[in-house]
Amino acid sequence: MMQHRPDLDSRARVEQFVDAFYGHVLNDTRLAPLFLDVAAIDLQVHLPHIKDYWSKLLLGERAYQRHTMNIHRHLHGKQRLTGADFAQWLALFNATLDQHFSGENTEKARRIAATIAANMRDRLAEMPE
């Protein structure tokens, strides 16, 4: 029997998703060094921003007002982000969804993440070396 998985339909569930996703990212041999060493993120600062970002995209909240592309351009300038980096990010994102969530907003998150990964990969690839 398949266990019922909740949808990403509340701030609390979006926060659960982000925490679970970052648990995977920060244990990933490809992505953890990008987040921890290159970007040197402070999780106490970064995770609330990411929770605001996904709450904006999925729930219409308005707390997130940053420009994500500029943040990633800066990171890309320190260490080039590759197609494989974005593919791994997306694979972990989808695996986290598959493991914990299902429903309309979950599928919306999956579509948005695929678009974000492709757009960011393509736009950063256009930057000069």
pLDDT in tens, 55-79: 999 999 998 888 788 888 888 889 8
Give the global pTM.
Answer: 0.93
- Give the residue numbers of the binding site for heme: 49, 72
Q: Quick one: pLDDT at residue 52?
A: 96
For 42, other C-beta atoms within 10 Å of its C-beta total 8
Domain limits, the chain: 11-125
Give CA separation, 100 vs 12, 14, 53, 62, in Å. 13, 11, 19, 25
The token pair that represents 116 in the structure block: 């974000």
- pLDDT given for residue 84 in this prediction: 96
d(CA 51, CA 48): 5
Distance CA 34, CA 96 (A): 19
Question: What is the distance between the alpha carbons of residues 13 and 28, in angstroms, rounded to a whole number?
Answer: 23
As annotated, the binding site includes: 49, 72
Distance between CA atoms of 84 and 6, rounded to whole angstroms? 30
Spatial separation of the C-alpha atoms in residues 125 and 129, rounded to whole Å: 9
Say which CATH superfamily domain 11-125 falls into. Globins (1.10.490.10)
pLDDT < 50: residue spans in the chain: 1
